[in-house]
């Protein structure tokens, strides 16, 4: 982690959600699926996209309710930090075939295999990379030095810090 996947999709959601009839941002699916259960996440998704407050007792029931109530809904859906296929089976599988064709579903994950095992097309997967050396130094110095560049005598220290951060904006 730390390359900025969540930050990027949160910004996209903030800018683009008004272009869709409905929108839902399910953050930190990995952690929340463990804390509150997958069918509770299905309920959040259903409620965000339909304003229905249906009781969902299990994942199978949630799948059926999502399929039924989201047919032709034009939506922006973000599933953030997905880490296993069961999460996508419960949240993505029921909606991807029934949502309006102009809908957009974005998924962030640290594990590309989770996406490919869930039949996400290879051409739809984008791998974010860290910042290059120049970008890293620019970001680091913007926060560390008032004038935006290393003070004399700090160049080596800055270079060592940049190497340790390996282009990850969160580390910088």
Mean pLDDT of all residues in 18-45: 95
Within-domain flag for 172: no
- pLDDT of 141-172, one tens digit each? 998 998 888 889 998 999 999 999 888 888 87
pLDDT number for residue 65:
95
Mean pLDDT of all residues in 84-95: 95
Within-domain flag for 66: yes
Give yes or no: residues 149 and 83 share one domain.
no
The CA R_g of the chain, rounded to the nearest whole Å, is 20
pLDDT number for residue 128:
85
Within-domain flag for 171: no
Give yes or no: residues 12 and 61 share one domain.
yes
pLDDT number for residue 64:
95
- pLDDT of 100-117, one tens digit each? 999 999 999 999 999 999
Three-class DSSP category at 107: strand
Q: Nearest CA to 82 among 113, 61, 51? A: 113
Q: Which two tokens stand for residue 163?
A: 């190497």
Cross-strand partners of 79: 26, 107
Q: Which two tokens stand for residue 156?
A: 């080596």
Give yes or no: residues 34 and 78 share one domain.
yes
Give yes or no: residues 68 and 148 share one domain.
no
Backbone angles phi, psi at 77, to 5 degrees: -125, 130
pLDDT number for residue 23:
97
In this prediction, residue 129 has a pLDDT band, given cuts at 50, 70 and 90, of confident
Q: Give the chain's domain count.
A: 2
DSSP E strands, the chain? 22-26, 75-79, 104-107
pTM of full prediction above 0.85: no
Give yes or no: residues 16 and 57 share one domain.
yes
Q: Nearest CA to 135 among 84, 83, 172? A: 172
Position 97 pLDDT exceeds 80: yes
Q: Nearest CA to 108 among 129, 91, 126, 90? A: 126
Question: Domain range holding 153?
Answer: 133-165
Give yes or no: residues 10 and 57 share one domain.
yes
pLDDT number for residue 171:
83
Within-domain flag for 40: yes
């Amino acid at each position: 982690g730390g390359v900025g996947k969540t930050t990027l999709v949160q910004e996209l959601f903030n800018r683009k959600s008004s272009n869709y009839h409905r929108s839902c941002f399910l953050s930190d699916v990995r952690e929340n699926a463990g804390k509150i259960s997958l069918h509770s996440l299905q309920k959040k998704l259903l409620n965000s996209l339909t304003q229905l407050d249906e009781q969902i007792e299990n994942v199978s029931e949630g799948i059926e309710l999502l399929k039924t109530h989201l047919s032709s809904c034009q939506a922006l859906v973000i599933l953030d930090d997905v880490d296993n296929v069961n999460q996508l089976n419960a949240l993505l599988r029921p909606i991807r075939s029934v949502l309006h064709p102009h809908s957009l579903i974005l998924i962030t994950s640290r594990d590309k295999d989770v996406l490919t095992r869930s039949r996400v097309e290879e051409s739809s997967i984008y791998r974010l990379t860290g910042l290059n050396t120049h970008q890293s130094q620019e970001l680091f110095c913007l926060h560390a030095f008032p004038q935006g560049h290393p003070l004399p005598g700090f160049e080596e220290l800055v270079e060592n810090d940049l190497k340790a951060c390996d282009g990850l904006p969160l580390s910088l």
